[in-house]
Amino acid sequence: MENEAVREWHLSTPLSTEDIGKLNAGDLVYLSGPVYTARDGVYKHMLIDGNLPPIDLANLTNVSFQSSPAGVEVAPGKYEVASLQATAGFRYSQYMPQLLEGYGVKAVVGKAGMAEEDYRDTFVKHGAICLTTMGYGLGAIYGSAIEEVLGVYWVEELGLSEALWVLHLKELGPLLVEGDANGNSFFTGVNEEINQRLGSLYEGLKPPVFGRLGEQQKPEIELF
Protein backbone atom coordinates (compact mmCIF):
# COMPACT_ATOMS: atom_id res chain seq x y z
CA MET A 1 0.00 0.00 0.00
CA GLU A 2 1.30 3.44 -0.89
CA ASN A 3 1.17 6.79 0.89
CA GLU A 4 1.64 10.07 -1.03
CA ALA A 5 3.94 11.69 1.55
CA VAL A 6 6.03 8.69 2.61
CA ARG A 7 5.54 5.56 0.56
CA GLU A 8 4.67 2.66 2.85
CA TRP A 9 4.53 -0.98 1.81
CA HIS A 10 3.26 -4.08 3.62
CA LEU A 11 4.94 -7.10 2.01
CA SER A 12 5.10 -10.85 2.52
CA THR A 13 8.22 -12.98 2.33
CA PRO A 14 9.67 -14.40 0.23
CA LEU A 15 9.72 -11.11 -1.67
CA SER A 16 8.88 -11.18 -5.37
CA THR A 17 10.78 -9.45 -8.16
CA GLU A 18 7.81 -7.09 -8.44
CA ASP A 19 8.03 -6.27 -4.72
CA ILE A 20 11.72 -5.44 -4.98
CA GLY A 21 11.31 -3.39 -8.15
CA LYS A 22 8.69 -1.02 -6.76
CA LEU A 23 10.70 -0.01 -3.69
CA ASN A 24 12.65 3.24 -3.72
CA ALA A 25 15.26 4.50 -1.29
CA GLY A 26 13.40 6.26 1.52
CA ASP A 27 10.29 4.05 1.44
CA LEU A 28 9.01 2.37 4.60
CA VAL A 29 8.40 -1.38 4.67
CA TYR A 30 6.61 -3.81 6.99
CA LEU A 31 7.43 -7.51 6.52
CA SER A 32 5.37 -10.60 7.26
CA GLY A 33 6.48 -14.20 6.79
CA PRO A 34 9.66 -16.22 7.36
CA VAL A 35 13.12 -14.66 7.73
CA TYR A 36 16.38 -15.93 9.20
CA THR A 37 19.02 -14.17 11.26
CA ALA A 38 22.70 -14.06 10.37
CA ARG A 39 25.62 -12.10 11.75
CA ASP A 40 29.33 -12.70 12.48
CA GLY A 41 29.08 -16.33 13.56
CA VAL A 42 26.67 -17.52 10.88
CA TYR A 43 28.44 -15.68 8.06
CA LYS A 44 31.81 -17.18 8.95
CA HIS A 45 30.43 -20.66 9.68
CA MET A 46 28.35 -20.77 6.50
CA LEU A 47 30.19 -18.64 3.94
CA ILE A 48 33.84 -18.89 4.97
CA ASP A 49 34.04 -22.33 6.61
CA GLY A 50 31.65 -23.84 4.07
CA ASN A 51 29.12 -25.45 6.42
CA LEU A 52 25.75 -26.02 4.77
CA PRO A 53 22.69 -24.86 6.74
CA PRO A 54 20.62 -27.65 8.33
CA ILE A 55 17.54 -26.37 6.46
CA ASP A 56 16.96 -25.18 2.90
CA LEU A 57 17.15 -21.43 3.47
CA ALA A 58 16.85 -20.48 -0.20
CA ASN A 59 13.47 -22.21 -0.54
CA LEU A 60 12.23 -20.91 2.80
CA THR A 61 12.76 -17.18 2.32
CA ASN A 62 14.92 -14.61 0.58
CA VAL A 63 15.18 -12.19 3.52
CA SER A 64 18.07 -12.25 5.98
CA PHE A 65 18.10 -10.22 9.19
CA GLN A 66 21.46 -9.17 10.67
CA SER A 67 20.39 -9.62 14.26
CA SER A 68 21.06 -11.41 17.52
CA PRO A 69 17.62 -12.02 19.07
CA ALA A 70 17.35 -11.54 22.82
CA GLY A 71 15.81 -14.97 23.34
CA VAL A 72 15.86 -17.87 25.77
CA GLU A 73 14.98 -21.55 25.55
CA VAL A 74 11.97 -21.97 27.85
CA ALA A 75 11.55 -25.69 27.09
CA PRO A 76 13.42 -28.18 24.90
CA GLY A 77 13.22 -26.78 21.39
CA LYS A 78 10.89 -23.94 22.43
CA TYR A 79 12.15 -20.35 22.49
CA GLU A 80 10.83 -16.95 23.46
CA VAL A 81 12.25 -13.66 22.17
CA ALA A 82 11.85 -10.36 24.01
CA SER A 83 13.76 -8.10 21.67
CA LEU A 84 14.92 -8.11 18.06
CA GLN A 85 17.47 -5.44 17.21
CA ALA A 86 19.69 -5.25 14.13
CA THR A 87 23.45 -4.87 14.19
CA ALA A 88 25.55 -2.55 12.02
CA GLY A 89 25.24 -3.71 8.41
CA PHE A 90 28.41 -2.10 7.01
CA ARG A 91 30.52 -4.63 8.95
CA TYR A 92 29.26 -7.43 6.72
CA SER A 93 29.70 -5.98 3.25
CA GLN A 94 32.47 -8.50 2.51
CA TYR A 95 29.97 -11.37 2.82
CA MET A 96 27.27 -9.92 0.59
CA PRO A 97 28.43 -11.30 -2.79
CA GLN A 98 28.41 -14.89 -1.47
CA LEU A 99 25.18 -14.46 0.46
CA LEU A 100 23.21 -12.91 -2.40
CA GLU A 101 24.53 -15.24 -5.06
CA GLY A 102 24.74 -18.48 -3.11
CA TYR A 103 21.50 -18.23 -1.12
CA GLY A 104 19.28 -16.10 -3.34
CA VAL A 105 18.85 -13.36 -0.74
CA LYS A 106 16.89 -10.38 -2.09
CA ALA A 107 16.63 -8.26 1.06
CA VAL A 108 19.12 -7.78 3.87
CA VAL A 109 17.83 -6.15 7.05
CA GLY A 110 20.50 -4.43 9.14
CA LYS A 111 21.27 -1.22 10.95
CA ALA A 112 22.48 1.99 9.26
CA GLY A 113 22.96 0.39 5.84
CA MET A 114 26.13 -0.06 3.82
CA ALA A 115 28.23 2.01 1.45
CA GLU A 116 26.54 3.11 -1.77
CA GLU A 117 29.35 1.32 -3.64
CA ASP A 118 28.16 -1.98 -2.15
CA TYR A 119 24.69 -1.38 -3.55
CA ARG A 120 25.96 -0.48 -7.01
CA ASP A 121 28.59 -3.23 -7.21
CA THR A 122 26.75 -6.11 -5.53
CA PHE A 123 23.08 -5.50 -4.76
CA VAL A 124 22.11 -4.18 -8.21
CA LYS A 125 23.66 -7.21 -9.89
CA HIS A 126 21.44 -9.54 -7.85
CA GLY A 127 18.31 -7.40 -7.81
CA ALA A 128 18.52 -7.01 -4.03
CA ILE A 129 17.79 -4.26 -1.52
CA CYS A 130 19.05 -3.21 1.91
CA LEU A 131 16.58 -2.36 4.69
CA THR A 132 17.52 -0.73 7.96
CA THR A 133 15.82 -0.62 11.33
CA MET A 134 14.86 2.77 12.76
CA GLY A 135 16.83 4.07 15.73
CA TYR A 136 18.09 2.22 18.77
CA GLY A 137 15.04 1.95 21.01
CA LEU A 138 12.68 -0.21 18.97
CA GLY A 139 14.06 -3.66 19.76
CA ALA A 140 11.01 -4.61 21.84
CA ILE A 141 8.65 -3.38 19.10
CA TYR A 142 10.47 -5.40 16.46
CA GLY A 143 10.48 -8.38 18.81
CA SER A 144 6.71 -8.16 19.20
CA ALA A 145 6.41 -8.89 15.46
CA ILE A 146 7.66 -12.46 16.00
CA GLU A 147 4.69 -14.79 15.69
CA GLU A 148 6.73 -17.97 16.02
CA VAL A 149 10.31 -19.18 16.36
CA LEU A 150 10.45 -21.84 13.66
CA GLY A 151 13.87 -23.12 14.65
CA VAL A 152 17.28 -22.28 16.12
CA TYR A 153 20.33 -23.94 14.57
CA TRP A 154 24.09 -24.18 15.22
CA VAL A 155 23.61 -23.40 18.91
CA GLU A 156 26.37 -25.79 20.01
CA GLU A 157 28.78 -24.46 17.39
CA LEU A 158 28.07 -20.74 17.73
CA GLY A 159 26.16 -20.16 20.96
CA LEU A 160 22.60 -18.95 21.30
CA SER A 161 23.25 -15.29 20.48
CA GLU A 162 25.18 -16.06 17.27
CA ALA A 163 23.03 -18.99 16.18
CA LEU A 164 20.88 -19.17 13.06
CA TRP A 165 17.34 -18.21 14.10
CA VAL A 166 14.43 -18.86 11.75
CA LEU A 167 11.47 -16.64 12.59
CA HIS A 168 7.95 -16.15 11.31
CA LEU A 169 7.04 -12.47 11.47
CA LYS A 170 3.89 -10.40 11.28
CA GLU A 171 4.24 -6.75 10.31
CA LEU A 172 7.89 -6.29 11.25
CA GLY A 173 8.56 -2.58 10.93
CA PRO A 174 8.96 0.18 10.26
CA LEU A 175 12.00 -0.64 8.12
CA LEU A 176 13.61 1.97 5.89
CA VAL A 177 14.70 1.18 2.34
CA GLU A 178 18.29 2.41 2.65
CA GLY A 179 19.55 0.89 -0.60
CA ASP A 180 17.18 0.12 -3.47
CA ALA A 181 17.65 -2.25 -6.40
CA ASN A 182 18.87 0.62 -8.58
CA GLY A 183 21.82 1.27 -6.28
CA ASN A 184 20.44 4.41 -4.63
CA SER A 185 21.33 5.07 -0.98
CA PHE A 186 18.86 7.08 1.10
CA PHE A 187 21.49 8.16 3.63
CA THR A 188 23.92 9.26 0.91
CA GLY A 189 21.24 11.41 -0.68
CA VAL A 190 20.32 13.00 2.66
CA ASN A 191 23.97 13.69 3.50
CA GLU A 192 24.50 15.41 0.16
CA GLU A 193 21.44 17.59 0.70
CA ILE A 194 22.59 18.54 4.21
CA ASN A 195 26.04 19.49 2.95
CA GLN A 196 24.54 21.67 0.23
CA ARG A 197 22.29 23.45 2.72
CA LEU A 198 25.16 23.97 5.16
CA GLY A 199 27.17 25.57 2.37
CA SER A 200 24.41 28.08 1.62
CA LEU A 201 23.82 28.69 5.35
CA TYR A 202 27.41 29.80 5.93
CA GLU A 203 27.79 31.60 2.60
CA GLY A 204 28.81 35.25 3.07
CA LEU A 205 29.80 34.91 6.72
CA LYS A 206 33.21 36.17 7.79
CA PRO A 207 35.70 33.44 8.64
CA PRO A 208 36.01 32.77 12.37
CA VAL A 209 38.93 34.30 14.27
CA PHE A 210 39.51 30.98 15.99
CA GLY A 211 39.42 27.62 14.27
CA ARG A 212 39.89 24.19 15.73
CA LEU A 213 41.89 23.66 18.90
CA GLY A 214 45.35 25.13 18.41
CA GLU A 215 44.40 27.11 15.30
CA GLN A 216 44.17 30.88 15.14
CA GLN A 217 43.72 33.25 12.24
CA LYS A 218 45.52 36.59 12.03
CA PRO A 219 43.12 39.56 12.52
CA GLU A 220 42.37 41.58 9.41
CA ILE A 221 43.46 44.86 11.09
CA GLU A 222 46.30 45.69 13.38
CA LEU A 223 45.11 46.63 16.88
CA PHE A 224 48.31 48.52 17.79
Confidence of residue 197 (pLDDT cuts 50, 70, 90): confident
Q: Is the peptide bond before 14 cis (omega within 30 degrees of 0)?
A: yes
Kindly state the average pLDDT of the residues 53-57: 95
User: 29, 52, 8: which is closest to 108 by C-alpha?
Assistant: 29
| Alpha-carbon dihedral sign for residues 91, 118, 186, 14 | negative
Composition of the chain by helix, strand, coil, percent to 5: 30, 30, 40
Q: Is the pLDDT of residue 50 over 50?
A: yes
Q: Contact, 63 vs 106, CB < 8 A?
A: yes
Q: For 94, which DSSP code?
A: G
Q: Contact, 9 vs 1, CB < 8 A?
A: yes
Count of CB atoms within 10 A of residue 151's CB? Answer: 16
Residues of the chain with pLDDT > 70: what percent? 88
Could you give all domains of the chain from N- to C-terminal order, each with its CATH number?
8-202 (3.20.130.10)
Q: How far apart are CA 178 and CA 69, in angstroms?
A: 22
**Predicted pLDDT of residue 88:** 87
pTM score, whole prediction = 0.84
Question: Which residue would you say has higher pLDDT here, 116 or 15?
Answer: 15
- Which run of H or E residues covers position 148? strand 146-153
Confidence of residue 75 (pLDDT cuts 50, 70, 90): very high
Q: How far apart are CA 8 and CA 192, in angstroms?
A: 24
> For 136-145, what is each residue's pLDDT tens digit?
778 999 999 9
Q: Contact, 147 vs 156, CB < 8 A?
A: no
| Mean pLDDT (the chain, rounded) | 88
**Lowest model confidence (mean pLDDT) among 116-130, 178-192, 203-217:** 203-217
**Predicted pLDDT of residue 221:** 52
Q: Contact, 129 vs 40, CB < 8 A?
A: no
Q: Where are the beta strands (DSSP E) in 59-134?
A: 63-65, 70-75, 78-83, 107-110, 129-133
